[in-house]
Structure 1
């Protein structure tokens, strides 16, 4: 059974493993620890039988939620885990006063773009050469009207 809950320091080792397996420039475990210790952040994990399957995070900056991370273990993708994480992140953010959400996504990440669009995000710009290894533009997406 999948449980979506707040990330704790005990989750950081598994979260770090997922991060390193997915991203060419991964966050360090220390970065996740520091993020968890900030008042204005929300970090969630998707867990099943003690195994972290995915995670996401948000920084609340004066009512705007910047989604910093969304990741799911490769062998668990296409099982609606990212959707469940994001739906909970959006709901929790809204409860904590977030009025609009933003994120960046690689131009080539069609699956993620389609997911974000299905959740109400729209394209609002491009960040040229935002990503490294490989270098790629980022699409800036916003969800401004909350359900």
Structure 2
């Protein structure tokens, strides 16, 4: 059974190890510890059998939610862990009064982009060379900037028209 709970500083080492396995520029243990001390940062972990298998973060930046650090152990991918974490994180953000959420994702990370689209995020721009070098090529990679915007009447709005 998978459970989701708030991340604590005691989870920083496991979260950092997970990031290192998944990203060439993953966060350090110290980065997680420092972020968890911020009053506008909310991070969550997914656990299975007492082991950290996924993470997802939220920062409340002037009333907008920035989703960060969505990461799941390889063997738990395609099993709904990232969906459960993202759904939980978005709901927690809504409880804080956040109506609009944003995130960045590698342009080549099609599974993640598909997940975010499932939750109503849409691409609104690109940050050139945003991510550190890729393990395979040694080149920097662009980030797709995605937003999930909620209008005052509760409908989802976007900057770009739907295709």
Shorter-chain TM-score range: over 0.9
**What TM-score do the two structures reach when normalised by structure 2?**
0.87
Check if 1:11 corresponds to 2:11: yes
Q: How does 1:57-136 map to 2 (within 5 A)?
A: 57-134=57-134, 135-136=140-141
Check if 1:41 corresponds to 2:41: yes
Aligned to 2:149: 144
Name the structure, 1 or 2, with higher relative contact order (CA <8 Å, separation 6+): 1
How far, CA to CA, are the matches of 1:137 and 1:107 in structure 2?
6
Measure how far apart 1:133 and its partner are.
1.1
**What TM-score do the two structures reach when normalised by structure 1?**
0.96
How many residues are matched?
147
Q: Which runs of 4+ in 1 moved over 6 A?
A: none
How far, CA to CA, are the matches of 1:9 and 1:36 in structure 2?
7
Structure 1 residue runs without a partner (length 5+):
none
SS in 2 for 1:144: strand
Structure 2 residue runs without a partner (length 5+):
135-139, 156-163
